[in-house]
A and B are shown apart, each in its own frame.
Chain A
Amino acid sequence: MSFFADIIFEARSLAQTLSESVGTPVVRLGVTGLSRAGKTVFITALIQHLTELGAPGARKGRGALPVFRVMAEGRLTRGKLEPQPDDAVPRFAYEDHRAALTGGDDGANRHWPHSTRRISEVRIRLEFERATGLRAGPAALIIDIVDYPGEWLLDLPLLDKTFAQWSKETLDASATAARAALAADWRAFTLSTDAAGAADEIKAREAATLFTAYLQACRADTHALSTLPPGRFLMPGDLEGSPALTFAPLVLKPDVFYGGDTLAAMMERRFEAYKTHVVRPFFRDHFSRLDRQIVLVDTLAALNAGPAALRDLETALSDILQAFRAGRNTMLSAFFRPRIDKILFAATKADHLNHTSHDRLEAILRTIVSRAIAKADDAGAAIDVIALAGVRATREARIGKGAEALDAVVGIPAAGEIIDGETFDGVAEAAIFPGDLPTDPKAALHGETLYGSSAEADYRFVRFRPPMQNLDEDGAPKPLPHIRLDRALQFLLGDRLA
């Protein structure tokens, strides 16, 4: 069944490639990132900058994306949203997210977009003029972007795993120092459950509930752990309460066959069903045909939570990125199975620290994704690592004078954020020095500490509220400020817009 679906999909994708080779070229931009990495904000900022070219605020001066050459050179004439190709998928709620970020006329209500609960899609059409080459003159490029709950990405590594493998890995992981306390309830239940016992729906449901609670606890801010498959347990989307989500890892003895009516067999069946009906279609429909990829990583949240969280993030990202096909395209592969030939790793929320620390942040991210980088590099894909902020919520400042001056950022911390013994109310502005990042990126990954909310942390990155909408002299809104969004766009799309 799924085999036929795959064949049909491949045939359709080939037909699509053929039709695109005569029509307007399309770039499928994969915005990849775990939950809270800032996918929605990044996409919103990208759409805003590309579609509001003609807005008076953007016209002023030299444009808001100086490094994005097609725009800086004045060759980009128009950018607009178009109906997306899939009618079954909702459109990315750009207007809502934009409104959330600006928060109405006085900006009092501005807040970051809520976490994404379902998949959505958007298509941007850019009209520009080619400056060089044989095809100089007017041209167009279509950019397809998919937004989805980041938790779902965690499922991709499951595709290659059997139920037994997954059970073992999950149980092993839950015994580590960082997780043991959180997993206590579920572990106690699982260890006392006999996998060879009769299939029992009540028991299965209880196991799933406890397992979900454990995953949810790991994800809380103070722990910020990342490797938590299956993703739909955290963000069920449309599947909430369905039997496909009623399973949990079990203690399985190796080399034992669990017969048709045992609990283990039932769980395994559901695990496989989850893979076939949930994970594979999601991956196939949205990720198997990417041209360019940006991997957004919320490094700061993991840094906040400590080395264990960082290592966990490293594992999660390496596993996920294994699923993507990177490498230089040949004539043949470009037609049949396009590969991702450019991957950008971005440490998001770079506005939470001063630009003098960005190099260290980039170094830490480079260390975290080193395995993925090595693999993509071998395959011939172009790689870059940057610190990025799709929407920049702070300004830069210096606290104190002379040799003891600290390079800080100034913004309005979100209500309830605590740093240096102060609790913020979401109204007061403050200069924040989040602490020095280690010069050696590996130092950030060593140790067993779980900082949590404790005061002895070396660094603490607070969340800021979105920036107040800036108006220019005419009262027209200026585009939202950003950090290196233009560089990201230039890297990802620059060659297609040359």
Chain B
Amino acid sequence: MSTPEDIRRRPRAVRIEPEPAIGFKDRPLASEASIERPRAGKTPIVEITPDPFAFDTLALDPEERAVETAQKRGIFRRSVVSWSGLFWSALGGLVSLAFGLWVTKIVDDLFSRSTTLGGIGLGLAALAILALLVIAGREMVAIGRQRHIAKLHQDFAKAHAADDQPLARRLVADLASLYAARPETARARKDVLALRSEIVDGRDLVEIAERTLVQPLDQRAQAAVAAAAKRVSVVTTIAPRAIIDVAFVLLQAVRLIREIAQIYGGRPGLLGFFKLARSVGAHLAITGGMAAGDSLLQQVVGHGIAAKISARLGEGVLNGLLTARIGISAISVCRPMPFAAERTPNLRKVVPFLFRAEKPVADDQSSSATPNT
């Protein structure tokens, strides 16, 4: 009670003048006098502060809702219960039965020719099965991890909205353990974990974790998006055939989504990638309307100016922007926490070079590192 840090401030009261229009004319004069009573020289100023419990600060924003919906449609989707899921599982079962039959037949044939050949065949088949099991296991792990990250994202959004300290503490530990295998995050992890035992509001804790742990990953992810967008715009500008454009854009999109997933959590695997791609697609569809004011206009404008220089150049810019939008959606879906302290990246921030229409994009490729114009 007498430690120096614990100097307590005394209770204090300051009357507030009612606005004259309301008219408390019949108020006793004595209390009027007490308002005027000088206190330590003068009456201090009372300033109303923003309401920390206002709905706006508590509710989930539409962007966050879009991410959660997208995650629900892809990552959290349990495809087994649907009819199409049933169809594919049944078909998959049939195909694997046929495959098994084929393998046993081959091994039988081999044995009928010579025991050695049969032994080799059997060994190879066993190896194939082992590898398949390992791959399947890895797929499961990857899907589980993805789901875990998406769950983390939702819980962080909840903790941030509700300023829930116990939940935030738990989640921050979870987040730190997620990146435990990355040596470059060691310092940030230690700082964040130390903060858990101090009196930090839930919301602040979430934001600190975001700034220290996730922000470096954001930068890497955004750099990846920028690089992919750049590649796409250059290749589509110079590619001779439309089919090459399409193939390249698709390939780059797939690569980009995988890369971003890897930056935030881990390799998604094949099944995991499908789920992820579905989520990214859903997010693109939802936010497409939302971002109409932002990106569509920019795309049209950007296309317009570039197209004046060359039709192919304009196409390149447009394809680059499309790739960048896919990348941003992938970031939103893969990120283990919502954008709270940081701002959601927009096209202009991630791929600024595509908007610099004064300079041909192809040139930009070489000189994008140096800030110009």
Contacts and interface: CB of A to CB of B under 8 A. Distances in A.
Nearest to A407: B49
Interface in B1-43: 1, 5-6, 8-16, 18, 24, 27-28, 31, 34
A380 interface: no
B9 A64 contact: no
A438 B5 CA distance: 11
A359 B162 contact: no
A266 interface: no
Nearest to A350: B53
B13 A410 contact: no
Given A429-B16, A487-B164, A396 B28 contact: no
A436 B12 CA distance: 11
A432 B53 contact: no
B79 to A, nearest CB: 16
A482 B8 CA distance: 28
A396 B52 contact: yes
Contacts of B8: 435-436, 438, 458-459
A472 to B, nearest CB: 13
Given A428-B18, A438-B8, A420 B59 contact: no
Contact of A395 (B48, B55, B59, B164): B48
B371 interface: no
Contact of A425 (B28, B45, B201): B28
Interface in B128-187: 161-162, 164-166
Nearest to B200: A359
A481 B47 CA distance: 20
A486 B57 CA distance: 14
A66 B161 contact: yes
A407, A420, A438 pick with most chain B CB within 10 angstroms? A420
Contacts of B290: none
B6 A438 contact: yes
A72 B60 contact: yes
A61 to B, nearest CB: 6
Contacts of A428: 15-16, 18, 24, 27, 31
A443 interface: yes
Given A406-B9, A430-B13, A396 B44 contact: no
Nearest to A459: B11
A355 interface: yes
A425 B55 contact: no
A132 B15 CA distance: 52
B58 interface: yes
B16, B56, B165 pick with most chain A CB within 10 angstroms? B16
Given A400-B44, A410-B16, A427-B27, A438 B1 contact: yes
Contact of B49 (A397, A433, A436): A397
Contacts of B48: 395-397, 410
Contacts of B369: none
A117 interface: no
B44 A399 contact: yes
Contacts of A395: 48, 51
B242 interface: no
Contacts of B13: 413, 419-420, 422, 430-433, 462
B199 interface: yes
Interface residues of B, number: 40
A216 B48 CA distance: 40
A408, A428, A462, A482 pick with most chain B CB within 10 angstroms? A428
Contact of B6 (A62, A392, A439): A439
A487 B28 CA distance: 42
B49 A399 contact: no
A425 B27 contact: yes
B55 A61 contact: yes
A63, A67, A440, A481 pick with most chain B CB within 10 angstroms? A67
A138 B219 CA distance: 45
Given A428-B15, A431-B14, A431-B16, A355 B55 contact: no
A434 B11 contact: yes
B12 A66 contact: no
Interface residues of A, number: 56
B46 interface: yes
Interface in A313-339: none
A408 B53 CA distance: 15
A427 to B, nearest CB: 6
B72 to A, nearest CB: 9
A277 interface: no
B199 to A, nearest CB: 5
A433 B11 contact: yes
B200 to A, nearest CB: 9
Interface string A444-469: 00100000000001111010000000
A85 B213 CA distance: 54
Given A61-B55, A428-B27, A457 B11 contact: yes
A408 B46 CA distance: 9
Contacts of B45: 399-401
B47 A436 contact: no
A398 interface: yes
A55 B44 CA distance: 41
A455 to B, nearest CB: 9
Nearest to A433: B12
A30 B259 CA distance: 52
B50, B53, B166 pick with most chain A CB within 10 angstroms? B53
A443 B1 contact: yes
A497 interface: no
B12 A396 contact: no
A384 interface: yes
B46 A396 contact: no
Contacts of A484: 53
A72 B59 contact: yes
Nearest to B199: A359
Given A433-B9, A438-B8, A427 B51 contact: no
Contacts of B12: 399, 406, 408, 420, 432-433, 435
A435 B34 CA distance: 21
Contacts of B1: 438, 443, 446
A355 B52 contact: yes
Contacts of A61: 55
A483 interface: yes
Contacts of A422: 13, 15, 34
Nearest to B9: A436
Contacts of A67: 58, 161-162
A446 B9 CA distance: 19
Nearest to A412: B16
Interface in A363-394: 363, 384, 392
B339 to A, nearest CB: 18
A197 B34 CA distance: 61
Interface string A216-257: 000000000000000000000000000000000000000000
Interface of B: 1, 5-6, 8-16, 18, 24, 27-28, 31, 34, 44-53, 55-56, 58-60, 161-162, 164-166, 199, 201
19 contacts: A62-B56, A66-B161, A355-B53, A359-B199, A397-B49, A398-B49, A399-B12, A406-B12, A408-B46, A419-B11, A425-B28, A427-B27, A428-B18, A429-B18, A431-B13, A433-B9, A438-B8, A443-B1, A459-B8
Closest 10 CB pairs of A and B: A66-B58, A433-B12, A435-B11, A400-B44, A66-B59, A420-B13, A431-B46, A436-B8, A62-B59, A429-B16
Given A61-B55, A396-B51, A431-B46, 8 more contacts: A62-B55, A392-B53, A397-B46, A399-B46, A401-B45, A419-B11, A419-B13, A460-B11
